A and B are shown apart, each in its own frame.
Chain A
Amino acid sequence: MNINGSFETSLQTGDSALLVMLLLSFVIAVACGIVVYSIFYLSVTSNSQRLGQYLCAGTTKRQMKGLIRREGLLLTALALPASLTLSGLIAYAVTPDGWSWQNFALLCAIASVCGALTVQLSLRKPAAMAAMISPVEAAHSTASDREIKRHGKSSAELSPRRLALISWSVGRRKWLLTTLSLTFSGVLFMTAATWMSSWDDDAYSRQSGFQDNEYHISYLYDHSYPRTYGITEMQIGGHLSPELEADILALPHVAGLRVEHEAVGNVRYQGASFLQSFYPLTREDAEYFELDAQGDNSYDYLAGHDAIFITNSAFSENVNGVNFTPGKAIMLHYFDGEEHTVELEIAAVSEDMVENGDDRPTFCMADTTVRKLWGDMNTASTFYITAEDYAEYGNELEGNLSSLVEQYPDLSLSTLREQTIEDSGAIRQQKQQIYGISALLIIFGIFNLANTVLSSFAVRRREFSVLESLGMEQRQLKSMLRFESLLQIVPSLLLTLTLGTLCGWTLVWWLHRSAAYLEYSFPAAAAALYVLCIAVLPVVLNSGCLRAMERTPLTQRTRCEE
């Protein structure tokens, strides 16, 4: 029986991908919540006069809360169709084969409910704040009427920097909120960027048996037309011979060659029959004898009883529908030119396995047993060849090896280069997904910052005009706004870079245990891009707002009510 690739994968991965997606969705929902909270908090605080007027006109606190909630529902209703359509298009673009209208409709329903809930939960506090506004505020018409709580003494020197600091000190809650949301999305972005920058494409492909080598020569076994004893008939032909080994070692730029052995037989156990390879253990294979196993997995016992040791037992048990128990026996049919049948004791069973990176059999027996059963038959199954300087001489050596292998119709050459090409599609797809998430996160950060800058400017438009009317130059106004932006951005960037680096490192460290191709690397380019975007955005927006503001005559601006 040949194992179907997808079936094998399904047995190995379980629900971890789904759990990761759920976790990611939760994190994004929290980020959205912070942004929504921030928008409504700023909206309520900057519209306290208008909301106060509603209360003056007889609006109850309950109605005021309802008003804010309805604004939230309107926001949800406007955003959902666009976001669901966009997400559907992206999903289809990423995996066209996986598209299902039924699943999409289900996800739309779930996303709509989650989105509406997130918005409603996020605006609970702003709605409560709106309900607490005193109707007296409606009577206030000027900026100077607003009560200010600020620490620190009066200062005779009021430079643009000092003014920025004063503005910061009176709006610390807003500052904290923006810093928090900006840092949150920034940390997520840095974590995703670290994941990408830590991804080593070469190491990813090398994990498929190419850890310390670049070429495999093995028997050309076609799983579509299985033979009763697997590669045994080809092993009898003996083309993976010491002579071929010597020929390969004589080629230029060959740094080393390792020969892997295995013997194949047909196992019958608990009514199941399956083709199985056996790895011949020597006394030196200490890592096998150190595995946590049921039964006796010592070399002496295995050799003394001609018994077998089954590692990674759960996999074979699931595939074949059996349950391996130490002390019981398997029936092995094997071939060495003639067919034989032998009963072998299961000496030990372990759920663990030795990770050597090769596709080594999980069923083992002592080398002495292999010799007893298969005699002098050449059990070499694969040659692992290492190039002297792969980057420099890899192509040349591959050409020479191909020429050599072509002489043997039952041998095949697989290379790291082919593996890299084969993996590139999967890598591209995974990276596209991470790129997409990163882009989403950076857009979050930018959107949130833009919202803060624009709403803050809109609220303070009249204040800036008054400052101008008193003789403040554009240069001084710009300098003040620039310094305010610095006060907003620098702490957030410091926090983002510190926590983002820490989170990225932790994620890579955690994933490295199961994904050795991830080696921590600081995402310098992504971090620089993020810093640039976040640093430049307020300057650009403030400049644009100032230019737009200047189009209205100063007299009109100083008169206008907020």
Chain B
Amino acid sequence: MDIVTVHNLKKYFGRGENQVKALDGVDLAIEKGKFTAIIGASGSGKTTLLNMIGGMDIPDEGEVIVDGVNLRGLKEKELSVFRRSKVGFIYQNFNLVSTLTVKENILFPLSLAGSTPDPVFFEEIVKLLHIEERLNAFPAELSGGGQQRVAIARALIAKPAIILADEPTGNLDSKSGQNVLGLLKLSVETYRQTLVMITHNLELAQMADCVVRIEDGRVRA
């Protein structure tokens, strides 16, 4: 069963001679509960595709359906609600809120939705990601790997339909990167989450159930 369906997705930046076709008619289906890696060179359009799936950007043409929700025509407020309920984001540069503690950062998506966190699930996640001792610390007090583990916990806490990770190990050394990716894979397997990850690293991509290659704004394989 497909959780993400992308049909004839187009996104262009700029005009005239300077126009860049970031996505030029992408068709893609992502199976539920699977780990999909999107690979491609810089500027191939993979981040743009991820942003379209996550409701962060609006396509020029085509449609994106995530967990039964067609993102086309959703208003800004509806997109916000979609992002916090259906999608968990993990960014290369972590994007943690510096003024919030680790615990607050993890629970933030739930707070925005006005939902009460499940304490058992919270305990499970923080133990799984080895951050139970640092819940009252601030992001600046953690290592890069530590911050990315917090970002993973934040992405998982709302039990979203899909987790989107944009080069989650890009800012980490290889050992930390392997460690973080192992935990990420373990988490999505434990909670049967769908994970879509962008990476340059073919070695990491081999850990995925499915690999999608993007070139010049099109899916090649």
Contact = CB atoms under 8 A, between A and B. Distances in A.
B176 interface: no
Interface string B52-93: 000011000000000000000000110011111100010101
A154 B112 contact: no
A476 interface: yes
A482 to B, nearest CB: 17
Contacts of B140: 144-148
Given A143-B97, A463-B98, A468 B111 contact: no
B38 interface: no
B102 to A, nearest CB: 8
Interface in B108-157: 108-109, 111-113, 117, 135-136, 138-141, 147, 154
25 contacts: A141-B93, A142-B94, A143-B98, A144-B96, A144-B97, A146-B98, A147-B140, A150-B99, A154-B136, A156-B107, A156-B117, A158-B112, A166-B99, A468-B80, A470-B84, A470-B109, A470-B154, A471-B81, A471-B83, A473-B76, A473-B77, A550-B76, A553-B57, A554-B56, A555-B51
> Interface range on chain B: under 10, 10 to 19, 20 to 34, or 35 or more?
35 or more
A463 B139 CA distance: 14
Contacts of B80: 468, 471-474
Contact of B112 (A145, A166, A471): A471
Given A157-B111, A473-B80, 19 more contacts: A142-B93, A142-B94, A143-B97, A144-B98, A148-B140, A154-B135, A156-B103, A156-B107, A468-B80, A470-B83, A470-B89, A470-B154, A471-B85, A472-B80, A475-B77, A476-B112, A553-B57, A558-B56, A558-B95
B103 A154 contact: yes
A550 B76 CA distance: 10
A144 B154 CA distance: 14
Contacts of A475: 77
B187 interface: no
Nearest to A171: B99
Contacts of B51: 555
B60 to A, nearest CB: 12
Majority SS of interface residues in chain B? helix
Interface string A364-397: 0000000000000000000000000000000000
Contact of A144 (B82, B112, B147): B147
B97 A555 contact: no
A83 interface: no
A150 B138 contact: yes
B98 A145 contact: yes
Interface of B: 47-48, 51, 56-57, 76-77, 80-85, 89, 91, 93-104, 107-109, 111-113, 117, 135-136, 138-141, 147, 154
A536 interface: no
Contacts of B83: 469-471
A554 B93 CA distance: 15
Nearest to A149: B138
Closest CB pairs A-B (n = 3):
A471-B84, A158-B111, A144-B139
A144 B111 CA distance: 19
A170 interface: yes
A458 interface: no
Given A150-B138, A469-B89, A476-B112, A142 B95 contact: yes
Interface residues of A, number: 36
Contacts of B100: 158, 166
B95 A147 contact: no
A153 interface: yes
B104 to A, nearest CB: 5
A155 B57 contact: no
Nearest to B139: A144
A555 B56 contact: yes
A141 B156 CA distance: 25
A272 to B, nearest CB: 81
Contacts of A143: 95-98
Interface in A146-200: 146-148, 150, 153-159, 166-167, 170
Pick the most buried of B76, B82, B93, B113: most chain A CB atoms within 10 A of its CB: B93
Nearest to B158: A471
Given A468-B80, A470-B83, A555 B57 contact: yes
B138 A147 contact: yes
A434 interface: no
A466 interface: yes
Contacts of A443: none
A106 interface: no
A185 to B, nearest CB: 29
A474 B80 CA distance: 8
A469 B113 CA distance: 13
Contacts of B57: 553-555
Nearest to A550: B76
From B113, B140, B154, residue with most partner A Cβ within 10 Å? B140
A474 B77 CA distance: 7
Contacts of A167: 99
A467 interface: yes
Nearest to B91: A558
B104 A158 contact: yes
Contact of B98 (A148, A471, A472): A148
B95 A466 contact: yes
Nearest to A468: B80
A154 B81 contact: no
A336 B104 CA distance: 101
B107 A158 contact: yes
A154 B56 contact: no
Interface in A452-505: 463, 466-476
Contacts of B95: 142-144, 466, 469-470, 558
Contacts of A170: 99
